[in-house]
Structure 1
Amino acid sequence: MMQRNLRGLIDQSGIKSVVEIIPQSSTIGAEVRGLDISVGLSDQQFEQVNQAFLDYQIIFFRDQQLSPQQYNDFALGFGRLKDYLFADGIDGFPYITEIVKTETETESFGSFWHSDSAYMELPPKITMLYARQIPTRGGDTLFADTYSVYDDLSPGLKATLESLNAVNSASVVPRDEDIYAAVKSKNSDKSDQSAVHPVIRRHEETGKKSLYVNSIHTLGFEGMTREESLPLLNYLYQQVTRPEYSFRLRWAENTLAMWDNRCTQHYALNDYHGQRRVMHRIIVEGEHPQ
């Protein structure tokens, strides 16, 4: 399917839309109000949304009634869309992956602290998630600000980490069939996909530094064994989970969220057994981490 977007071609009524940005914590997360994404964004609106995204790392929009085409078009305004290596898209929209947890399933897709697809040479810079059906309780997503994690490390540890690269692999993810039942899985033979990236990553747009290792993709430091790497890695993972770096998103039906994989990690809470949850996911291709 040809990629396209309608940004700058809509908002022809002459009615000026007021975009309101509502911060959700001291460092990370903001709600964006005053937009109907289904009709597209003007250039000015897009710039406001993009700046909020860079400032707050994860932003969300409530009460968005989106068709797959409208969702696809909105995402394309932020860059080239990428199909997910291990799952097919929905019919007619290869870049929209449906993630389903049924009433009878106990495992959940994404219930680990991670940054999406760090095992790719070009990891996605943005992940979007659109809530189609949510449980009556539970199913929130936690987000961590890895800018702040890096900022609060000691000067000595920062210097050490600046000199290191990490080996990231899809094989670290538990290959539990129940977890991958949530998506139309494919390419199981590519579970050894791997890439080497800097442990400390400089954001391509903001220039800020963040911690770029995570517990389900990072095998170890380049040139070291996994056993040698784990003590320091485990310490870093513990820093990511500290509450002062986090924001908790409580989903509602038709909420659209988008987050920056270059400077965040996230964790899908699996606390809604016996209820159905359906989400539509899009990833936007990123750059080589530097």
Structure 2
Amino acid sequence: MDSAVTTPAPALDKPLMHYGKRTLDRMAPGAEQPGYRLLDVRPLTPHIGAEIGGVDLARAIGEELAKEIRLALLEWKVLFFRDQHAFDPQAQLTFSALWGAPEPNPFFPKGDSVGVSRLAKDAMTTGSENIWHSDHSFMAAPALGSVLRAVEVPGSGGDTMWADMSAAYDNLSASMKDRVEGLTAVHDWVPSWGSLMTAGQLAAHRENLPAVEHPVVVRHPHTGRRLLYVNEPFTTRIVGLPDPESRDLLDELVLQARIPEYQVRFRWQPGSVAVWDNIATQHYAISDYFPQRRVMERIAIAGAPLS
């Protein structure tokens, strides 16, 4: 009787994502730890996300307080404020001005104030932001940050998650870091927002919003930290690579945002406000609350070209 023939297992096309210890630095190595006199900073994880107490965002924010809030955002990447019930659209615009001018989203429904987008979801209008993404990466100068306030929240569900993209870069293998060094990628709104448009609408928006290119790895404009800058809905291909190789590389890179150790999750309550660093993070709005209603108002903050 012939002995059984053992067929060797096929080689893996790419390494499995590793498990065990991960590098989770809150700040760049050697960066000075900020000290806070006016803020009560309560971390939600050791490296991303903190609730801030002792601040009424509806009141005038002096320069010392503004400086501490800006420092805290650079340190924690996303800040959460509870019980801001007097925080109306005008206060939201004033608060976002601590970082820059508002940048309207060309595809979002407009709120009652210029620069404010209103995101109202219910049983008839389901959420479409349940994918890891960075706001406005399809623009030549992507949004620097965003301020989101809860107008109406469901009794359960509707959380938002953020992922630290410096942690995503730090934990790439040495060979992968070498592979992506110096690469650029195309970012385009057509595969996502464009899928809902007529040919005429596509042409009208395309005139003002051509596809753009950003480095796959960028340096944060204020901290200098290296971070991974590709995302699932808007990054369409790696420049200079054959399509199959580009697709395989992007598939591996966009998965990094899904690793729980890089993430923080926030449960919205009435009066909650979040501000996040849109370059350092990606976010994901969990769409698990239908047919309950969820209404949020968002301001994106204008940024600059990345390098």
The C-alpha deviation readout for 1:23-67, integer Å capped at 9, x for no partner, is: 110211011110001112111111111111000101111111212
Other-structure match for 1:117: 136
Amino acid of the residue matched to residue 86 of structure 1? Answer: F
User: What is the distance in 2 between the residues matched to 1:239 and 1:82?
Assistant: 28
Deviation at 1:227, TM superposition (A): 3.1
Other-structure match for 1:161: 180
User: What is the distance in 1 between the residues matched to 2:38 and 2:302?
Assistant: 29
The answer to whether 1:275 aligns with 2:296 is: no
User: What is the distance in 1 between the residues matched to 2:304 and 2:227?
Assistant: 15
The answer to whether 1:42 aligns with 2:62 is: yes
TM-score (norm 2): 0.82
User: What is the distance in 2 between the residues matched to 1:23 and 1:158?
Assistant: 29
Task: Decide whether the 8 Å contact of 1:21 with 1:33 is kept in 2.
Answer: yes
User: What is the distance in 2 between the residues matched to 1:258 and 1:145?
Assistant: 14
Bigger Rg, which one: 2
Other-structure match for 2:216: 199
Change (3 A) 1:143 1:131: same
Task: Decide whether the 8 Å contact of 2:74 with 2:223 is kept in 1.
Answer: yes
* SS in structure 2 at match of 1:74: helix
Q: Kindly report the root-mean-square deviation, in angstroms, between the aligned alpha carbons of the 2 structures.
A: 1.9
The C-alpha deviation readout for 1:145-175, integer Å capped at 9, x for no partner, is: 1000101112221122122000000012155
The C-alpha deviation readout for 1:183-241, integer Å capped at 9, x for no partner, is: xxxx6532563210000010010010000000000011012344331111111122210
Aligned length: 265
Amino acid of the residue matched to residue 223 of structure 2? Answer: T
Question: Runs (4+) of structure 1 moved beyond 4 Å?
Answer: 174-177
The answer to whether 1:31 aligns with 2:51 is: yes
Deviation at 1:85, TM superposition (A): 1.6
- 2:261 aligned to 206, 228, 244, which one? 244
- 2:231 aligned to 194, 197, 214, which one? 214
% same residue: 34
User: What is the distance in 2 between the residues matched to 1:101 and 1:67?
Assistant: 20
Amino acid of the residue matched to residue 213 of structure 1? Answer: V
Amino acid of the residue matched to residue 72 of structure 1? Answer: L
Other-structure match for 1:148: 167
Structure 1 alignment gaps of length 5 or more:
1-16, 181-186
TM-score (norm 1): 0.87
- 2:247 aligned to 223, 230, 241, which one? 230
User: What is the distance in 2 between the residues matched to 1:104 and 1:119?
Assistant: 28
Task: Decide whether the 8 Å contact of 1:172 with 1:218 is kept in 2.
Answer: no
Amino acid of the residue matched to residue 157 of structure 2? Answer: G
Task: Decide whether the 8 Å contact of 1:171 with 1:193 is kept in 2.
Answer: no
The C-alpha deviation readout for 1:45-92, integer Å capped at 9, x for no partner, is: 11111111000101111111212111111111211211112235323x
The C-alpha deviation readout for 1:231-268, integer Å capped at 9, x for no partner, is: 11111122210111111011111111011111111110
Amino acid of the residue matched to residue 137 of structure 2? Answer: A
- 2:39 aligned to 2, 13, 19, which one? 19
